Amino acid sequence: MLAFVVRAALSGVIVALVASIARRSPAAGALIASLPLVSVLGMIWLWRDTGDRVRMAAHAEATFWYVLPSLPMFLLIPALLRHDVGFPLALAAGCVLTMLLYLATVAIAARFGVTL
């Protein structure tokens, strides 16, 4: 339980740090947010918990494939905001697009023998 609390606290600090920096400099906040900090921390914790090379390799590979369909969200949201769509609706549209692209990615990857 203590490990969970430490992990949650560290993750929360990262999110708060990104938000604080982004208020001063959107580009700097974006740079920090784009770093794979959560992925790296997740891999460290997964390794610590399991030490399983096969599981770690599968996790890292799946992370790669899931990052790709999430990228268009970061183009859709600003496009909608620039066209006077409210932030909650733009964010929801970005999330829906990402979910649809996740489903498409899983289906397409399966055709090439990649199991996600």
Q: Tell me the pLDDT tens digit for each residue of 37-62.
A: 888 988 999 999 999 999 999 999 99
Give the pLDDT confidence of 27-37 residue by residue, as tens digits.
898 888 888 88
Beta strands in the chain (DSSP E): none
CB atoms within 10 A of CB 90: 20
DSSP state letter for 71: T
Structure tokens belonging to residue 93:
């549209």
Q: Which residues contact 78 (CB under 8 A, 6 or more apart)?
A: none
